[in-house]
Chain A
């Protein structure tokens, strides 16, 4: 058992690394192929061609593309992703500044999604066919169809403009530094409530749908009927027999969802002007900050693969039969 596990684990790690490497190379080629000049943002060629050449040389963009690629690959294996053109800092430290926010934000949103959706799903499976179940089911279908930017703007309109309850953008108040520790946390929560709702609602609807469907499926199986007939109480059946079976399809979705969240919630960050990975990525694309683009993409890729992997591990914990399937 253990041997199989280690074998498939190492195989998976190797394929992940290859995939990431291919991804980075693909992006490298794409950025170098694209028209447009990264130095243009800082100085115009019309004023001083020599200075422009100097800057281009300092970005190492004057060398042939093949040499650039060799350099790039060598540096990546050393863990060096270069220096961001715009921030004038190592890429990894720039990414880290923005990643810390995204990690917190994504985790909060993910927890919110899981907790709310499972609460709703359990409640509606208990009241199956009743008004609560039907209304939540229908509302979830509609909520799932609301694009993030429509939802975010509606929330801003209702809560920030009409009711004046929450701020419409930013992460901190002006008097943030004067607050105590708990005051600071309160301020963050105050600023993050609308973005969290915007980011989480669609996920809640999705998780709710999957969880409710699989709960319903499992409850209809014969072995549950057998357990009920044998006189087990409801909570034991739910905890020991229904949940492990019902949660499996949810886990795959959750892994993908977490990966996407960790890669940055672009639209939400743009609407509420929050400093996250999504906006960093987009800004670096628009500024043609090539090292930063690749750094961000790699981070997003690593997080995506890691969260999928995490989901698979949990699935495997629940069902030992899946160990061989870990490879794919």
Chain B
């Protein structure tokens, strides 16, 4: 599976990878020459690209090196595991899988609401002259060539062109424009026209849906993992305290769980997000806060059932510290039910995040999110079905795989216990 991914990327993105490696090299040179400037230039996008290309080279090397120790990699891969693994890869390698910018928009007239597999002709213009500028500026120009920005000055989307002796007339639907010959890139005295394809079509702002889906993985996984960690921390600690102490603390925590379970939790989430503002961080925290109840119940009941076993008593008698008993004696026993629960929780959170984005209470507009994509597709449902279909399918696959994985693990756990 992983090998297939690497081969696919190598085949389809050969040139891009080569460029990225060059970029890394140039950045390294810049780092050694002009440290301050280099650090100034390091924005999140550049960092993202550099990290993913580094990992892309490092991971196969590490695998080759530690081949013998990584036996768990040879487990059978079924459909759901493959989907989740693909999502994980897309999370890390988003800038390599697609070389577009998720926010890229240009010439709306030409690129708006294109159906899947459509191609648009691109006229390439000359870039600014960079022959006699400093090393840093050269690097910036090179970077902008490779790492795509959300806007590009040196291309125009066109329907058709007509060549005149001293200028070029291009057509964009009903509108036409002209360009001087010296502004257009020429090759054998002909202007360069290439095709740009949009595999899954474009949205209402002419943004590539495939790219947005790949980057949308990041939001979903980030929110999923983040809030699962939050609820794991809360559920585990409260459950452990309630299970070991009992008494009044147990009663208080149990009432608290009842309180959270006593009315549809989605309204509480909406209430908090609507009143206190929604951002990536608040969404993660609120979703995490709303999902700890089942974990709390599981941990509490497991701790209660384990507490009076002989080996725990002997551990207490031996005077082991509480943390050691928790991590060494209790956690391994309750690990699998917790993992199963965490996987279900993960799929719940992804669903909740996309539903919130659909309702306009998501993580904001700075990142593409599947739910928000579906929400914007709703307005164009008569014209552009692909805006809903593809994010919807990805969402269904993700949820299905997570549910399936949880179910299989649960089944395996039960059969081990019997």
| A282 and B355 within 8 A (CB) | no
Q: A154-B392, A161-B381 are in contact. Are A19 and B374 (CB under 8 A)?
A: no
| B274 and A150 within 8 A (CB) | no
A and B contact pairs by CB, cutoff 8 A, 25 listed: A15-B258, A16-B262, A23-B263, A31-B275, A35-B275, A35-B277, A145-B397, A145-B400, A147-B354, A147-B396, A149-B358, A149-B371, A153-B374, A153-B378, A153-B388, A154-B389, A263-B267, A270-B359, A281-B270, A282-B267, A285-B267, A285-B274, A285-B275, A293-B271, A304-B262
| A141 and B266 within 8 A (CB) | no
* Chain B residues whose C-beta falls within 8 Å of the C-beta of A288 in the assembled complex: 275
| Contact bitstring A257-270, B, C-beta under 8 A = 1, else 0 | 00110011011001
Closest to A36 in B: B275
* Chain B residues whose C-beta falls within 8 Å of the C-beta of A260 in the assembled complex: 264
| B140 interface residue per 8 A CB criterion | no
| B392 and A34 within 8 A (CB) | no
| A189 interface residue per 8 A CB criterion | no
What's the nearest-Cβ distance from chain B to residue A290, in Å?
Answer: 10
Residue count of chain A within 8 Å CB distance of chain B: 47
Interface SS majority for chain B: helix
Q: Report B256-299 residues with CB < 8 Å from chain A CB.
A: 258-259, 262-264, 266-267, 270-272, 274-277
| B262 and A305 within 8 A (CB) | yes
Q: A263-B267, A300-B267, A301-B262 are in contact. Are A141 and B403 (CB under 8 A)?
A: yes
* Chain B residues whose C-beta falls within 8 Å of the C-beta of A174 in the assembled complex: none
| B20 interface residue per 8 A CB criterion | no
Q: Report B316-365 residues with CB < 8 Å from chain A CB.
A: 347, 351, 354-355, 358-359
Q: Which residue of B262, B272, B382, B392 contacts A19 across the interface (Cβ within 8 Å)?
A: B262
What's the nearest-Cβ distance from chain A to residue B300, in Å?
Answer: 12
Q: Which residue of A34, A156, A266, A297 contacts B381 across the interface (Cβ within 8 Å)?
A: A156
| A286 and B274 within 8 A (CB) | yes
* Chain B residues whose C-beta falls within 8 Å of the C-beta of A18 in the assembled complex: 255
Interface SS majority for chain A: helix
Q: A31-B275, A35-B275, A263-B263 are in contact. Are A141 and B400 (CB under 8 A)?
A: yes
* Chain A residues whose C-beta falls within 8 Å of the C-beta of B382 in the assembled complex: 161
Q: Kindly name the residue among A18, A296, A297 whose own CB sees the greatest number of chain B CB atoms within 10 A.
A: A297
* Chain A residues whose C-beta falls within 8 Å of the C-beta of B389 in the assembled complex: 154
Q: Kindly name the residue among A31, A145, A285, A305 whose own CB sees the greatest number of chain B CB atoms within 10 A.
A: A145
| A26 and B275 within 8 A (CB) | no
| A313 interface residue per 8 A CB criterion | no
A34 to B271, CA, bound (A): 10
